[in-house]
Every structure is written in C-alpha cells, then in structure tokens.
C-alpha cells in the first residue's frame, strides 16, 4: 500500500505454482518472481537459491521495481530459508 492506503501491487502464488510469485496491478500481471531450480545436489546440500525477477513489458516506476526487488528477498526469507526452530 502507498502512504494513502491505496494498493500498489498484489502478490499471490497459485497452489501448483509454488515457486512463482506474480504481481498484479488492477488485475493485470505486471511482474513476477520465480525461484529457479539449481540442480539436485545444490538443492539438497546447500542453502543457495537462484531467483529471477521479471518485470515483463510493463513500464513500472523505479520505486515500484525496487519494491518488487525487495519482495524477492522477503519471499526467499519467508518461504525458502531453513527456520532455526
């Protein structure tokens, strides 16, 4: 939300696309974050993750692009990092 409480973007992930996080503005997909497969051994034995941030063909302001980029870090920490407890 912006400072006035208006929704800037909405992010959601489908049940069968749990490695893809699209961003919607007014119901239209404008960007997405995808976790990329790193290979079996890398996925099993390391905590290394690769993400693709795709802004598509939308002309988003730089502030919105920075928000999406920061969201990719949040997605990594929230969904893909091992929890201590």
Residue 69 is predicted with a pLDDT of 93
**pLDDT 10s digits, 33-76:** 998 877 777 767 776 778 899 998 778 999 999 999 999 988 88
Which tokens in the block code for residue 12?
A: 């959601």
Predicted TM-score (pTM) of the model is 0.76
Tell me the C-alpha distance between 51 and 74, whole Å: 12
Tell me the C-alpha distance between 68 and 62, whole Å: 10
């Amino acid at each position: 939300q912006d400072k006035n409480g208006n929704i800037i973007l909405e992010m959601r992930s489908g049940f069968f696309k749990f490695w893809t996080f699209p961003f919607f503005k007014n119901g239209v997909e404008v960007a997405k974050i995808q976790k990329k497969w790193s290979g079996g051994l890398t996925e099993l034995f390391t905590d290394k993750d690769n993400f693709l941030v795709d802004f598509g063909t939308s002309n988003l302001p730089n502030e919105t692009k920075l928000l999406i980029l920061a969201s990719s870090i949040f997605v990594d920490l929230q969904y893909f990092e091992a929890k201590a407890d």
